[in-house]
């Protein structure tokens, strides 16, 4: 199946496959079915829902949380245990849902295959199931058919095939049965081959099947999809690292407190065990998975409003680390709509948008009449080149239907890939006219005159040279050029068969147009914003080198230091090591195959870069799955590419990716704020209890520890997850693959803030003992412990305001712009102080009512947390500036 059939003549291909134009014999069909199997794409072995569910519990943080839930339950805090279990189960269920959706990629490939096909077997045309097609079958095709297997065309009549999903070609490709001599041609340049699941848009053909099922080009892609190992995201890496650190710290500190308490005879073994267990629960941020999930979920909602639909939650955060955006061209950077851009008329080249042609102009009439486009409820339907000609006049508010009404068609000569022309004969009350459009060089062979400023004169060599020079000029800009001509005729019979020699001669040249699939208006600004954010945009397309270069230059994707544009054929001559060494030298890759895209993505990943890859076709699916972030197209994208993606763009717009990157950065920053807040608060609790034990003081009861941990941790931390993006976020360099939640000074902040919390709490405790408001020993220590309990809780509520920015000051006009945060602080404060103010709760939480003077000390102790942290952050900002 590895034979380059495009290099063999039709007869040699038939011979190599041991078949004829009459098709296979009946006895041979079953033998080949046995040898090659059915023409279907095989599925990768899939796991059951139960297996998927169980696998979600292998994460270390999940295991720690499950242990914490059990500990909390036996420590007497059933509500905490239930909350933890619910969070874990919900996370697992969501993971199962996402994994099941990811397996749809191969299924979508299988569903694309046409259910039946027309073949010739035993000399007879018959319709069979496409799954029963075998190599050597002769397949008959016409416009509207899906090609059921890879084949070599042996007959082709004005054949055009839409291959965008496989090759990235932006317009249907002209196909023929001519033998090609070149070796290692890209898929898009093998003009005598047809590929499974591509669409015939024009003409008819016969082809001999060369490969079926998993041996086809689409099957090759299915194999690549099956073999791709999806790497874990930076978020998942950070959570895993955090889990490891916490598991060690929790075990060490809990064990240390237990041992010291027993050695110092602070309490009974059972009491110290419960205290150590409570401490372990306090040290573990059991709300973290919920906070991460909620923050990511809210991020998905924000992105959905901006047309970025998230299929896998971690992708929200991973976007924020993106360093390379490898974008497809057609439909993402461009409009996926051929557009008339230049007009050459009366020996003048003009920008099309500046010309206001009236429909009495002959060039306008030919563009409209020599055209097979049709209007429908979905707009114009037909070849993209032809619909662009009509759309140009519709955009100029011209009554196109009036022209077709005034000049009804008599007959036509369809486009032919050999002569590269298309003609129609139209008539009105006064005359019959032949109107022709096509390739400039072919049309000039049939032209004898030229129309200039409404007058007709003989075509001179100077005219021809100027026309050809303009054609070259437009082609260098990657514009697709069409020339237009006409001639008066008469007595053309609609029922007669005419040839090109009968009609297409002695034509009058009237002009040319240059068209292109133009860049999206907002794409250039988006590329510039990506560069400001430290993200390098690169283009990977299956389209031609010249077209890719033109669009890349317009969008300023090509860097000054780039080596230019590299093609798939050139990549074939580079070893993996050579590509790894030179990948940074190129920003544009043209005429590439699916395996090239995967190689490019992997080469960037080996440089330690986080790569986001966009795509809409079947050929993009392996690279989408390989990339750190796969971005599929919602409008033009195939189901295969969507299912292989982490994100789907509802508007197919590159600018939307940049919006999503900004949201991803905000999500990371908010999770980072929540983690800093949670861990510094938990560290403050652990240090307070540890030093109380070391100093021989009374220590918090398990209920007090768990209550502070529950009411002051969870609500404010969740609210921090929906903070608005800080200013200038997109002017910072991306965090990249080695990013950590503990970077950017967060780790040092956690330690000093945890120490500060513990120190302030212990200070209030000591102050209460030194300046007692009660005289009995029991009340002195009970009040001191209550004041320390209230101070620790209040410190964390004030510290939540500190955590709204890692380094920025909280004293700004938008301090209270997060309503959920404001409510969370209020609710947490009410729940915390209710244990002291409501007498019924005093015994449960082992607290005593406090006097106003004691509350003043508690408030000052809590407020000092905010003041001291703000002073430290001020000096940090000064150091960063210097």
**Residue pLDDT, tens place only, 616-635:** 777 788 888 888 888 888 77
Q: Is 385 contained in some domain?
A: yes
CATH code: domain of residue 764:
1.20.1110.10
- The pLDDT of residue 764 is above 80: yes
Q: Which residue has the higher pLDDT, 769 or 882?
A: 769
Nearest to 417 by CA among 157, 144, 180, 141: 157
Q: Which residue has the higher pLDDT, 112 or 524?
A: 524
- The pLDDT of residue 98 is above 50: no
Residue with tokens 């690549």: 224
Identify whether the C-beta of residue 872 lies closer than 8 Å to the C-beta of residue 752.
Answer: yes
Mean pLDDT of 366-379: 85
- The pLDDT of residue 152 is above 60: yes
Cα 535 from Cα 304, distance rounded (Å): 22
CATH code: domain of residue 175:
2.70.150.10
pLDDT for res 110: 44
Identify whether the C-beta of residue 518 lies closer than 8 Å to the C-beta of residue 341.
Answer: yes
Compute the residue count for the chain: 882
Residue 617 backbone phi and psi in degrees, to 5: -105, 170
Nearest to 173 by CA among 184, 185, 187: 187
Q: Count the domains in the chain.
A: 4
Same domain, yes or no: 400 and 317: no
Q: Is 81 contained in some domain?
A: no
Strands 193-194 and 150-162: antiparallel
pLDDT for res 663: 84
Encode burial over 395-420: b for 16+ CB neighbours within 10 A, e otherwise: ebebebeebbeebebbbbbebebebe
Q: Is 713 contained in some domain?
A: yes
Cα 322 from Cα 235, distance rounded (Å): 12
pLDDT for res 662: 86
pLDDT for res 23: 92
Same domain, yes or no: 491 and 573: no
How high is the mean pLDDT of the chain? Answer: 82
Task: Give residues with Cβ within 8 angstroms of 223, minimum separation 6.
Answer: 214
| Burial class of 489 by CB neighbour count within 10 A (0 to 12, 13 to 18, 19+) | middle
Same domain, yes or no: 272 and 371: no
Same domain, yes or no: 434 and 508: yes
Reported as a pLDDT band with limits 50, 70 and 90, residue 155 is very high
Mean pLDDT of 775-799: 83
Same domain, yes or no: 219 and 252: no
Q: Is 648 contained in some domain?
A: yes
CATH code: domain of residue 425:
3.40.1110.10
Just list the catalytic residues.
Answer: 328
Q: Which of 643, 658, 673 is the last residue of a domain?
A: 658
Cα 131 from Cα 140, distance rounded (Å): 16
Residues 642-681: tens digit of each pLDDT = 777 888 888 888 888 888 888 888 888 888 888 889 888 8
SS (H, E, C) 215-278: HCHHHHHHHHHHHCCCCCCHHHHHHHHHHHHHHHHHHHHHHHHHHHHHHCCCCCHHHHHHHHHH
Residues 434-458: tens digit of each pLDDT = 999 999 999 999 999 999 988 999 9
Same domain, yes or no: 744 and 838: yes
pLDDT for res 102: 41
Q: Which residue has the higher pLDDT, 665 or 207?
A: 207
pLDDT for res 227: 59
The stretches of 627-713 forming alpha helices (DSSP H) are 639-643, 654-695, 702-711
Q: Is 86 contained in some domain?
A: no
Same domain, yes or no: 864 and 844: yes
Mean pLDDT of 265-284: 67
Q: Centre a 10 Å sphere on the Cβ of residue 756 and count the other Cβ atoms it contains.
A: 21
- The pLDDT of residue 257 is above 80: no
pLDDT for res 691: 83
Reported as a pLDDT band with limits 50, 70 and 90, residue 277 is low
Cα 384 from Cα 373, distance rounded (Å): 9
Tokens read off for 497: 């068969």
Q: Which of 187, 203, 227 is the last residue of a domain?
A: 227
Mean pLDDT of 147-171: 83
Q: Positive or negative, the Cα torsion across 368, 373, 374, 376?
A: negative
Reported as a pLDDT band with limits 50, 70 and 90, residue 857 is very high
Q: Is 795 contained in some domain?
A: yes
CATH code: domain of residue 636:
3.40.50.1000
Residues 672-705: tens digit of each pLDDT = 888 889 888 888 888 887 788 777 777 777 677 7
Same domain, yes or no: 669 and 777: yes
Same domain, yes or no: 677 and 726: yes
Cα 565 from Cα 326, distance rounded (Å): 14
Q: Is 104 contained in some domain?
A: no
Strands 432-438 and 421-427: antiparallel
First-to-final CA distance of the chain: 65
Q: Which of 658, 692, 723 is the last residue of a domain?
A: 658
Cα 227 from Cα 623, distance rounded (Å): 12
- The pLDDT of residue 3 is above 80: no
Identify whether the C-beta of residue 522 lies closer than 8 Å to the C-beta of residue 656.
Answer: no
The residue segments making up the domain with residue 198 are 5-43+109-227
Tokens read off for 604: 């960037």
Identify whether the C-beta of residue 279 lies closer than 8 Å to the C-beta of residue 778.
Answer: no
Half-sphere exposure of residue 93, counting CA atoms within 13 Å on the CB side? 6
Same domain, yes or no: 274 and 155: no
Same domain, yes or no: 537 and 622: yes
Q: Positive or negative, the Cα torsion across 819, 823, 824, 826?
A: positive
pLDDT for res 761: 93
Nearest to 421 by CA among 483, 474, 471, 375: 483
pLDDT for res 101: 45
Identify whether the C-beta of residue 845 lies closer than 8 Å to the C-beta of residue 707.
Answer: yes
Q: Is 210 contained in some domain?
A: yes
Same domain, yes or no: 488 and 589: no
Residues 802-820: tens digit of each pLDDT = 888 888 887 776 777 888 8
Residues 49-92: tens digit of each pLDDT = 666 666 666 655 566 557 666 766 765 656 556 655 665 665 56
Nearest to 362 by CA among 427, 454, 437: 454
């Amino acid at each position: 199946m590895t034979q380059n059939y495009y290099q063999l003549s039709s007869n040699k291909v038939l011979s190599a496959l041991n078949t004829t134009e009459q098709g296979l014999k009946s006895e041979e069909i079953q033998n080949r079915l046995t040898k090659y199997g059915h023409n279907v794409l095989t599925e990768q072995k899939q796991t059951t829902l139960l297996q998927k569910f169980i696998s979600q519990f292998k994460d270390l943080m999940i295991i720690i949380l499950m242990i914490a839930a059990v500990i909390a339950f036996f420590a007497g805090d059933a509500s905490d245990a239930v909350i933890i279990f619910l969070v874990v189960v919900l996370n697992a269920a969501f993971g199962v849902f996402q994994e099941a959706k990811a397996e749809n990629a191969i299924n979508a490939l299988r569903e694309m295959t046409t259910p039946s096909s027309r073949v010739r077997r035993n000399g007879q045309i018959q319709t069979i199931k496409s799954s029963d097609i075998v190599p050597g079958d002769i397949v008959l095709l016409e416009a509207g058919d899906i090609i059921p297997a890879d084949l070599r065309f042996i007959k082709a009549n004005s054949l055009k095939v839409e291959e965008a999903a496989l090759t990235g070609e932006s317009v249907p490709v002209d196909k023929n049965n001519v033998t090609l001599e070149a070796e290692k041609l890209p898929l898009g340049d093998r003009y005598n081959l047809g590929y499974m699941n591509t669409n015939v848009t024009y003409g008819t053909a016969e082809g001999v099947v060369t490969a079926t099922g998993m041996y086809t080009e689409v099957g090759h892609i299915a194999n690549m999809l099956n073999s791709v190992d999806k790497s874990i995201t930076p978020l998942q890496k950070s959570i895993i690292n955090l889990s490891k650190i916490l598991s060690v710290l929790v075990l060490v500190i809990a064990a240390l407190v237990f041992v010291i308490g027993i050695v110092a005879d602070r309490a009974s073994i059972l009491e110290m065990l419960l205290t150590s267990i409570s401490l372990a629960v306090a040290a573990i941020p059991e709300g973290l998975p919920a906070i991460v999930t909620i923050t990511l979920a809210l991020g998905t909602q924000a992105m959905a409003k901006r047309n970025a639909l998230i299929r896998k939650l971690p992708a929200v955060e991973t976007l924020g680390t993106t360093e390379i955006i490898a974008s497809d061209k057609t439909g993402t950077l461009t409009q996926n709509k051929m557009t008339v851009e230049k007009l050459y008329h009366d020996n003048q080249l003009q920008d099309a948008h500046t010309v206001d042609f009236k429909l009495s102009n002959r060039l306008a009439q030919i563009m409209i009449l020599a055209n097979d486009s049709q209007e429908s409820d979905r707009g114009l339907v037909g070849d993209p080149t032809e619909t662009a000609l009509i759309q140009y006049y519709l955009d100029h508010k011209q009554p196109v239907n009036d022209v077709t009404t005034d000049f009804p068609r008599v007959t036509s000569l369809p486009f032919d890939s050999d002569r590269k022309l298309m003609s129609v004969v139209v008539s009105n009350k006064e005359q019959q006219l032949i109107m022709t459009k096509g390739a400039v060089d072919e049309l000039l062979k049939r032209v004898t005159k030229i129309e200039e400023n409404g007058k007709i004169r003989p075509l001179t060599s100077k005219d021809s040279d100027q026309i050809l020079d303009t054609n070259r000029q437009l082609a260098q800009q990657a514009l697709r050029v069409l020339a237009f001509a006409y001639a008066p005729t008469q007595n053309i019979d609609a029922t007669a068969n005419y040839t090109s020699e009968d009609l297409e001669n002695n034509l009058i040249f009237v002009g040319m147009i240059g068209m292109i699939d133009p860049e999206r208006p907002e794409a250039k600004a988006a590329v510039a914003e990506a560069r400001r954010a430290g993200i390098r945009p690169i283009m990977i397309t299956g389209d031609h080198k010249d077209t890719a270069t033109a669009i890349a230059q317009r969008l300023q994707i090509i860097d000054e230091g780039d080596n230019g544009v590299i093609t798939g054929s050139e990549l074939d001559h580079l070893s993996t090591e050579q590509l790894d060494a030179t990948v940074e030298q190129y920003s544009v890759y043209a005429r590439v195959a699916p395996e090239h895209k995967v190689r490019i993505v992997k080469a960037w990943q080996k440089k330690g870069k986080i790569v986001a890859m966009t795509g809409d076709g079947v050929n993009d699916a392996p690279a989408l799955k390989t990339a750190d972030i796969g971005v599929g197209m919602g409008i033009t994208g195939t189901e295969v590419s969507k299912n292989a993606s982490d994100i789907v763009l509802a508007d197919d717009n590159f600018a939307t990716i940049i919006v999503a990157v900004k949201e991803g950065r905000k999500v990371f920053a908010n999770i980072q704020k929540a983690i800093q807040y949670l861990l510094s608060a938990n560290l403050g609790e652990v240090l307070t209890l540890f030093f109380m034990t070391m100093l021989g003081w009374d220590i918090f009861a398990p209920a007090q520890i768990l209550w502070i941990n529950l009411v002051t941790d969870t609500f404010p931390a969740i609210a921090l997850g929906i903070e608005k993006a800080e200013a200038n976020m997109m002017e910072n360099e991306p965090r990249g693959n080695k990013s950590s939640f503990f970077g950017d000074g967060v780790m040092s902040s956690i330690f000093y803030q945890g120490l500060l919390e513990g120190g302030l709490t212990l200070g209030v405790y000591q102050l209460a003992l030194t300046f007692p408001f009660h005289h009995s020993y029991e009340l002195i220590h009970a009040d001191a412990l209550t004041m320390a309990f209230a101070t620790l809780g209040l410190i964390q509520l004030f510290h939540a305001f500190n955590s709204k920015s890692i380094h920025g000051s909280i004293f700004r006009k938008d301090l209270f712009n997060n309503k959920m945060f404001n409510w969370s602080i209020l609710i947490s404060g009410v729940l915390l102080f209710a244990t002291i103010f409501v007498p019924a709760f005093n015994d449960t939480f082992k607290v005593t009512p406090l006097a106003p003077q004691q509350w003043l000390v508690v408030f000052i102790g809590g407020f000092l947390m905010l003041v001291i942290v703000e002073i430290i952050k001020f000096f940090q900002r000064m150091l960063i500036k210097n």
